Structure 1
């Protein structure tokens, strides 16, 4: 393998100078007795293929680390650092050096001339010593042909393709966006059972959170007590670990540069470097934890992690607690009250909340009052989890002595927090959702290195000869550098990118067994049939088996997989995995106990309050698709059959088999080769061959809302046609005719389905009908966006 070059470092013209250096200088690395200076921008090493650069990287005010980074940079953000020698002890920006001593030791010396980092290697021949940066990004110290030391054996927070993670190595996150020092999260092989795990080691607590500690290793496909502990990421995006963990990135195959990184938020992600026509960026192709609030320690003790489409992930102190460190959420919150007084204490109720771990007792078959009494009698009890075991048919409670790892994410547990009665009386459930508190990722104090000692200038001793050569290079290169720089602007470093939902790859035999040979059909559509199944970890799943196994079916499968791999929202169906084996194409979803909205409307089971909450939840899910996820997504087939309801009738938008992703730079316009959707719910744009935008989903949503209100199907016999075809469902005209032909007192009663009786609020109902009609306007330009729909539903007083 060819050795790297010492070259002039420029952000956007490194390859140009790399080429000139090749012409003017001999091929060499850093040899014994030589050094690189922090003050000299020329002192960098570049791999022979030009992909990686090594040199001094600024990590704070007058603070530098010796690092390796990708030469090519994203359009928005600085260099992507993959390794650091001295992340916890940065050197000064004056007179610091990387020195390869003749005795074989590679070391960093600070401005005071003391060693802050070294390899502790020894050599018997200084003439054969050489430090090289290889094409893989591995920095290797050679003595002749023998390797004395390599950076791959001492990773920081990144694993490169071909780099092994072993029993002796680990990945450790950075502290924050602005502080590269070792953080609180690490990826390592557990010494006890050889399982690859993610671990949180914070200032006040520590715990393992991945794989999910609620399941045994074998239930998540891991093998314990394996002798050879080793994991690696391949260049095509495949990952294999000795404990049985295996996955493939969403863009699996030969192509872009990739890396695996443990980010500052504790999540493990695989990134690919994507080059678009107008920008370059690192995109998430896999992540370990699909729900970000389930990363332990993310908000610290006595706090709750919440997620919403508008605010993303947020940390909130529990009622009666206050934030400890306003610059760092990892320290959590502290109580604003003192002491323990059972006669003067009560409980506040947090719905759909859980605090994982720190249980002091478990009480099966307990009533709520019994749980409360037990906690009140114990001063160490801070609260308890109260839930129902549907398999055993009993209620139970977990008593907590600490409130760590709290999150609120739309499941069925209820948490009771013990507080003085005065604080209980001042608590309102909506407070949890109304607080406006910044989330994790706030910048902690950046690294700063000061230097006050008087210096002796030694930098000009050997510059005269090189000055002419470098000046010549600069004259030739300045035009090229200006041209390249004018095309790209560099902004602040990006910490991590929004994540794609994680998948597990199932085998066909696993899913065949889980579904009892696909015996229980629970739904079907144009792209496939859905069966009920029970996975090996006892989770009830919906298994969709695509009908077509030809080229078209493969395209639909890839569309659905690539789409749902980028989505994470409480009102979107959660996907657990997939199967691509031979001609078989299957997708595994969470099972929705109450089926589809269509089925519930047929049975007339839904009351007014439930229908209104379904309208809001569906709007939030579509707004996330259109504006909040990694790329904009059009669903293209919004209808009651594709809105599923969980056990609490919370809606989740499903079935993205007809979806379309498109870049934000295309300003919301997309081209489709075929008409997509279901008759009756399709916008007029499809018929008149107009540009397709997110407004097609808005139209469909409006039709769905009118169907929920009236009970009339837009695809029934009342469907009308004109000379151009089905341009608008008769349902919309029917509602407008009733409004225009009746007084304000009577039109609501005339259009509302009789199954809702008179339980609805008339003002709210009028507002919902008006919103639905605005969404179903024939002119797409006057339809609101889904984000505006959410605002109109949540704050109707602003739109009257």
Structure 2
């Protein structure tokens, strides 16, 4: 009887202790966490911010990790065995009697362990700051995870000269990748690409010295720190703040698998992360992003493409670059030639640089050097060329005054002037995004799809500005009879000098940012009225640090606007894409000459949308299937109704929410003008002057 009571008592004690360990932030010496109970065998920080335990990385494979408890996808901040996951059965994380914290696989083999052997280790504890520590009986820390960061720093975690943040290999992969964040030998924090066959620094700018980059190398302390407010400071004078600076926000600084260093803030409601700072604004400046023989183009998100006659080495990973479809050797009998790619450069990898040389001389030097696989020739007049021994970190942009000449076998059939498949030539600063997408889907797009992605993203930037002017124009046309006065006022505003406004002035003008009139990728636009009773649109940047470069680029563009319709040129033509998806004339897609008639087309779409009260660029859904564009259907239907000369057709063309309360004469005129403006044949479209005049005449007849 006594033995049964003792046994029962022992079972109760074990059960209670086991339950306590599951709900606690600490693990006692001699205890363990089991992978079979990974949902319950957990350590949770006292304030529940962080959780530690087994994390599933693939089917039946687990890592021992720490993550933010309230994040939607259990965002990891530290991992013990990222390169050596353990089995989903029989694996354990144990605090052994000898003081070592050990991760064992199903066969008993050690997958990871701490470097502690002190028998004085009593507990493993997860602290509120996300630090997993081993403590002795007096509470002294003998080991801590903060000393061994993986790809992330959390607030209060020191970053010193002996540490590195190493990116993951890819989205969904927890193995070590090719990018690192660390203190270099000159005491400066840097980002480096360490690929399979080459290493290359890419941040801060390699074209500037330490002082020009705003850093200092005269401090051997080599320590950096992210505080609870969202401020990052380093001994090399690197300083940056989160755009949502303040307390009570969970943050992390992570080197992502795409090589960029980003500061994130957690949304408590959604559990999702928002970027509040990042090191590299144009991802194409990250070295190795497209691999060997790959070219990166900002469109505005980075797109990768292989050089002509090259294909992806691994269709799922751009970091592995591209391989040639031909054999290339250094044999003297191998006949070679050069192929030209304008506005393209390969960062670094120079054999040597030649100055005051002609293009012919550069070709000759590269042809004579077996190591030379390409050379860059600058178009700035100094006769400078750079002979390259490797074709990595290719970057293409219309701003680059450099032409690259590739050395290829004579047998390779390519045109003298190469246009890379899969990209369009453009350049733009970063576009805010939530979390990075996989490279496999982000960069391996088909040529046609990349072309339209570029078209839509670029057009959205310019189109937003254009639509503001167009809508304003229509309002003035219908609401103001004194057109010359409007023109005079507009001219006065345009020729007037820009001036800065204080935040308090803008806050007062917008009534504390009350009336929202639009929203874009970089922020919200509010209606405001200045002290001199001038109406203005005020954009409030959501992330001032990230979007400052974009903002000043937009200001510079607006300052230089010299639009063909300004609102008298002799049919000038241009090729730069301008407009918004759904408002763009067919000329853009058909590669036809671009004239002022493309804006007439966009204006016509907007007029018809004002009348109908819907977006005409949407597709019509019937029986659960999408058919023709709404605009196409509208034109087809109402052209036929207009020709039938039945007065009732106008009722069907106007927004039903007006309940018949509108001028039939004005509505009919607007529909007819709008339809004439969106003719596929641009020669049949009216000029903007005649369109304005027709609308003014309609106003006078009312």
TM-score (norm 2): 0.64
* 1:408-427 superposed Cα distances (whole Å, 9 cap, x missing partner): 23322322212233435457
Q: How does 1:210-609 map to 2 (within 5 A)?
A: 210-276=203-269, 279-308=270-299, 312-335=301-324, 336-340=326-330, 344-389=335-380, 393-412=381-400, 413-426=402-415, 429-433=418-422, 441-442=439-440, 549-552=505-508, 565=522, 588-589=552-553, 596-598=560-562, 608-609=572-573
Shift of 1:89: 1.7
CA shift for structure 1 position 295? 1.0
Q: Specify the structure having the higher radius of gyration (Cα).
A: 2
Aligned to 1:97: 92
1:394 aligns to what SS in structure 2?
coil
CA distance in 2, matches of 1:737, 1:178: 50
| Alpha-carbon distance in structure 2 between the residues aligned to 1:45 and 1:359 | 52
- Displacement of 1:395: 4.1
Flag structure 2 segments of 5+ consecutive residues without an equivalent: 1-17, 425-436, 442-456, 458-490, 525-540, 585-593, 595-602, 619-630, 632-660, 693-697
Match of 1:161 among 155, 167, 174: 155
SS in 1 for 2:70: coil
Q: 1:30 aligns with which of 27, 39, 43?
A: 27
Give the Cα separation in 2 of the matches to 1:527 and 1:141. Answer: 69
Instruction: Give deviations 1:500-551, integer Å, cap 9, x for gaps.
Output: xxxxxxxxxxxxxxxxxxxxxxx997999659xxxxxxxxxxxx76697452
CA deviation digits over 1:460-487, x for unaligned, max 9?
xxxxxxxxxxxxxxxxxxxxxxxxxxxx
Contact 2:341–2:419 (CA under 8 A) maintained in structure 1: no
- The 1:249/1:409 distance shift into structure 2, 3 A limit, reads farther
Cα-to-partner distance string for 1:134-181 (whole Å, 9 max, x where unaligned): 111111111122001111111111111111111111111111223312
C-alpha distance in structure 2 between counterparts of 1:416 and 1:566, whole Å: 42
Distance 2:571 2:354 in 1: 35
Q: 1:528 to 1:260 in 2, by over 3 A?
A: farther
Following superposition, the deviation at residue 403 of structure 1 comes to: 0.6
Q: In angstroms, what is the RMSD of aligned CA positions?
A: 4.9
Distance 1:331-1:578 versus aligned 2 partners, 3 A rule: closer
What's the offset of the Cα at 1:734?
11
Q: Residues 547 and 553 of structure 1 are in contact (CA less than 8 Å); yes or no, is this contact kept in structure 2? A: no
User: 8 Å contact 1:306–1:408 — kept in the other structure?
Assistant: yes
Unaligned 5+ segments in structure 1 are 1-19, 444-497, 499-522, 532-543, 568-574, 581-585, 624-648, 650-679, 700-722, 754-768, 773-777, 779-800
Task: For residue 211 of structure 2, give the secondary structure of its aligned residue in structure 1.
Answer: helix
Equivalent residue for 1:535? none
Q: How does 1:719-738 map to 2 (within 5 A)?
A: none
CA 1:745–1:140 in 2, change beyond 3 Å: closer, same or farther?
Answer: closer
Q: CA deviation at 1:239?
A: 1.4
Closer/same/farther in 2, CA of residues 102 and 621 from structure 1, 3 Å limit: farther
How far apart are the structure 1 equivalents of 2:265 and 2:299? 26
Aligned CA distance change for structure 1 residues 622 and 166 (closer, same or farther; 3 Å) = farther
Number of residue pairs the alignment of both structures matches:
531
What are the Cα deviations for residues 304-354 of structure 1, in whole angstroms up to 9, with x where unaligned?
123436xx5332221132333334332222331323569943322223222
Partner of 2:626: none
Q: Does 1:178 align with 2:176?
A: no
Tell me the SS of whatever aligns to 1:551. helix
Structure 1 residue 133, shift from structure 2 partner: 0.7
Deviations 1:101-160 (A, max 9, x none): 22221111222223222112133536xx11111111111111122001111111111111
Residues of 2 paired with 1:268 and 1:441: CA distance? Answer: 16
Contact 2:294 2:306 in 1 (8 A): yes
- Deviation at residue 686 of structure 1 after TM alignment: 13
Other structure's SS at 2:292 match: coil
2:641 is matched with: none
Residue number among 38, 49, 59 corresponding to 1:51 in the alignment = 49
2:277 & 2:132 partners in 1: Cα distance? Answer: 27
Provide the C-alpha distance between the structure 1 equivalents of 2:399 and 2:174, rounded to a whole number of angstroms. Answer: 36
Of residues 105, 113, 117, the one that matches 2:112 is: 117
After superposition, the C-alpha distances for 1:682-720 in whole angstroms (9 at most, x for unaligned) are: 9789999x899999xxx9xxxxxxxxxxxxxxxxxxxxx
Per-residue CA shift, 1:3-26, capped at 9, x if unaligned?
xxxxxxxxxxxxxxxxx978x999
* Cα distance, 1:617 vs structure 2: 4.1
C-alpha distance in 2, partners of 1:220/1:524?
41
Conserved 8 A contact 1:137-1:160? yes
SS in 1 for 2:384: strand
Aligned-residue offset at 1:184: 0.9
1:554-588 CA-partner distances (Å, limit 9, x unpaired)? 9779x99x966589xxxxxxx9x9799xxxxx964
Q: 2:37 aligns with which of 36, 40, 48?
A: 40
Q: Which has the higher contact order (CA 8 A, sep 6+)?
A: 1
Distance 1:97 1:338, change over 3 A: same
2: CA distance, partners of 1:255 / 1:693: 45
Give the match for residue 476 of structure 2.
none
**Shift in CA distance, 154/92, structure 1 to aligned 2, threshold 3 Å:** same
* SS of residue paired to 1:222: coil
Residues 51-109 of structure 1: per-residue CA shift (max 9 Å, x gap): 111111122232221111111131xxx32111111112222222221111222211112
Q: Is the 8 A contact 1:364 1:396 kept in 2?
A: yes
Match of 1:202 in 2: 195
TM-score (ref. length: structure 1): 0.57
Per-residue CA deviation, residues 713-771 of structure 1 (Å, 9 max, x unaligned), is xxxxxxxxxx999x999x9899769879x9x99756x7399xxxxxxxxxxxxxxx9xx
2-side partners of 1:146 and 1:528: how far apart? 68
